[in-house]
Structure 1
Amino acid sequence: MKKLRLIFIFLFACCVMPEAYAQKVAVKSNLLYDATATFNLGVEFGLARKWTLDVPVNLNPWKFNDGMRLRHWGVQPEVRYWFCERFRRTFIGLHAHYADFNVGNFPDWSFISENMKQNRYEGYLYGAGISVGHAWILKKRWGIEATIGLGYARIVYDKYPCAECGSRLKSDTRNYFGPTKVGISLIYLIK
């Protein structure tokens, strides 16, 4: 919980910096999250001529008929340096992430376990990573952005025998290194 508070304090501090006012702001939606029925909204603030702060938030509250669930909420703030000017062309970023999750009866390709189909996992994760991306302008205020990132996540979870029933089988932690960010986002620029 302390880590979550630190993330929000950092975001608040960045948002109230004098340079942040009267800068460009972008609102975005990650189309890959949309494909998984996950609500998501990102806001990116201009901090300086080549620097921005991107703050995407996502939520998936659904439980499907077959018991499959990918319930989660997460936030992944990222400071970006743009090589051209902000919101245009290529950038590199440094991101942090935090998420709570409750997943189960899911295909066996997860970073938590090879046995996602028979079990349910509930917990949280936190970590950081680096990313690279590119933004294309479609019209005056519209654009598309692609990004990919690698990093670390500490995963703390409880394992249950099935999606709806049973007592906890075990509590565990896992260290994950690998892809931590991927996105193809539709962007609207607010000046």
Structure 2
Amino acid sequence: MNSTRKIVLLNLFCILFFYSVDAQKIVGVKTNIPHWATVTPNIGIEVAFWNNMTFELSGGYNPFEFGDGQQWKHWIIWPEVRYWFWEPFNGHFLGLHGVFAEFNVGGLNLPFDRLAALKDRRYQGVVNGVGLSYGYTWIVGNSLLLEVTGGAGYGRLNYDVFSKGKEGFKINEGRKHYFGPTKGAVSVAYVF
């Protein structure tokens, strides 16, 4: 978890640095609606720092266990630098984002064949990655925005596999390279 603290502190430093760079400060606070559907409380902050550029740091944390060895515990952080085609917080943008996460999931019977092993096992590990994103933001009120974002890229997964349950024994370990979706959000934001 020591590396986790370093990542969080580095991202907070970046936000504070970018926030202090521009005299005309615009800050948005947002939440990703689909994350709430997975019982993951989340928040993001986005700061305009230069011409049509913004820096966003968003993340979610799910500490919940559901009993009978079922859990979907994780935290995730997405730092992202965005270039806006029109103006910050309005219209189309392209982004370069990072993905940093830890997970501890298992005992879940999900309808996806690719995740069928989660029913009888628990996976615990980390994900680090980078990707490109595209999004669009609509102004729906004086300070209220609706944003849709999607991104794809590369991720490196390092994980251990355990038998089902919190007290399960280690069965295996794995390392994977992942290419595919790395970000997706439908967010509601408030701009100051």
- Taking structure 1 as the reference length, what is the TM-score of the superposition? 0.90
Aligned residues: 189
In the TM superposition, 1:111-130 aligns within 5 A as 114-130=116-132
Deviations along 1:27-77, whole A, 9 cap, x unmatched?
Answer: 000000011110100000011120000100100011113532110011110
Which deviates more from structure 2 when the two are superposed, residues 162-171 or residues 174-183? 162-171
Q: Which residue of 2 aligns with 1:9?
A: 10
Q: Secondary structure at the match of 1:5?
A: helix
Q: Which residue of 1 aligns with 2:112?
A: 109
Comparing both structures, which one devotes a greater share of its residues to helix? 2
The residue identity in structure 2 corresponding to 1:16 is F
The residue identity in structure 1 corresponding to 2:80 is E
Q: Which residue of 1 aligns with 2:33?
A: 31
CA spacing shift, 1:136–1:176, aligned 2, 3 Å: same
Q: Contact 2:133/2:150 (CA < 8 Å) preserved in 1?
A: yes
Q: Secondary structure at the match of 1:15?
A: helix
In the TM superposition, 1:1-191 aligns within 5 A as 2=3, 5=6, 8-9=9-10, 11-17=12-18, 18-20=20-22, 22-106=24-108, 107=110, 109=112, 114-190=116-192
Displacement of 1:7 in angstroms is 6.5
- CA–CA distance in 2 between the matches of 1:40 and 1:140? 23
Displacement of 1:160 in angstroms is 0.5
- Aligned Cα RMSD in Å? 2.0
- Taking structure 2 as the reference length, what is the TM-score of the superposition? 0.90
Indicate the percent of aligned positions where both proteins have the same amino acid. 34
Unmatched tracts of structure 2, length 5 or more: none
